[in-house]
Amino acid sequence: MFCPFYFKISLFDKVARFILNIDEPQGTELRETKGPPRFTVKIDENLSSSNVKIDEQRIGQHRMTFLISGNGKALANSQLIQDKAYFEVKVIKPGNIGIGVSKNTKNHLNEGVGQDQESWGVLFTSRDGPSIYKVAQGTVIGCLFDQSDVPAMISFTKDDRPIDGAKVSGMKGSVVPAISVSGGAEIEVIFDSQLLEYNPPSGFSPIIFSQNFMF
């Protein structure tokens, strides 16, 4: 006897398996997935300056961080939809490092984060650099995006300690994580909750993936 309810459940199961990248069960066991999850927060090469080099550093089968060098801006592939989001940037080589958020646009990719009207952030530099916010090799900068209230705000931590005065507001509408490098800077960008150097501050959590749209 045909059962519409069973048909809907079966169809939903197949769609869910496709979205989550899970193979069909063989007997009573599920085989391991063949590749990384389809929905992973990462630096988007299509939304990064051609002068920026992006190297995916895989840790285990499905986890990764991103080594960034060169000159220009690089954006992530996920809109920030949660109230309080957190990600980290680890300094490999000091230089000029911009960290913050940006409109999801290909405009201004050769400029630093916070140096145009469609991105907001703070510049971190080496000891002899122009910014008051100094970093060294091994420094871990935490970026905290808070849109639980108006206006939305970005603040930062340095090696798990809040940075006084390093706050930016004024962003409007949907934004994505953004970083920029110049002056010989090399950084590692970390989105994966299992690879963060520090636990997110109270109330914040690693970025939840959300489909990116041009806006």
Q: What is the pLDDT of residues 147-206, one digit of tens each?
A: 999 999 999 999 999 999 999 998 988 999 999 999 999 999 999 999 999 999 999 999
**Residue 150: other Cβ atoms inside 10 A:** 7
- Which residue from 86, 99, 123 is spatially nearest to 208, judged by alpha carbons? 86
Which long-range CB contacts under 8 A does 10-13 form with residues at least 24 apart? none
The full set of domain ranges for the chain reads 1-34, 43-206
Flag whether the pTM goes above 0.85. no
Gap between the Cα atoms of 114 and 99, Å rounded: 8
pLDDT of residue 213: 52
Identify whether the C-beta of residue 71 lies closer than 8 Å to the C-beta of residue 110: yes
Fold adopted by 43-206 = Jelly Rolls (2.60.120)
pLDDT tens digits, residue range 59-118? 887 899 999 999 999 999 999 999 999 999 999 999 999 999 999 999 999 999 999 999
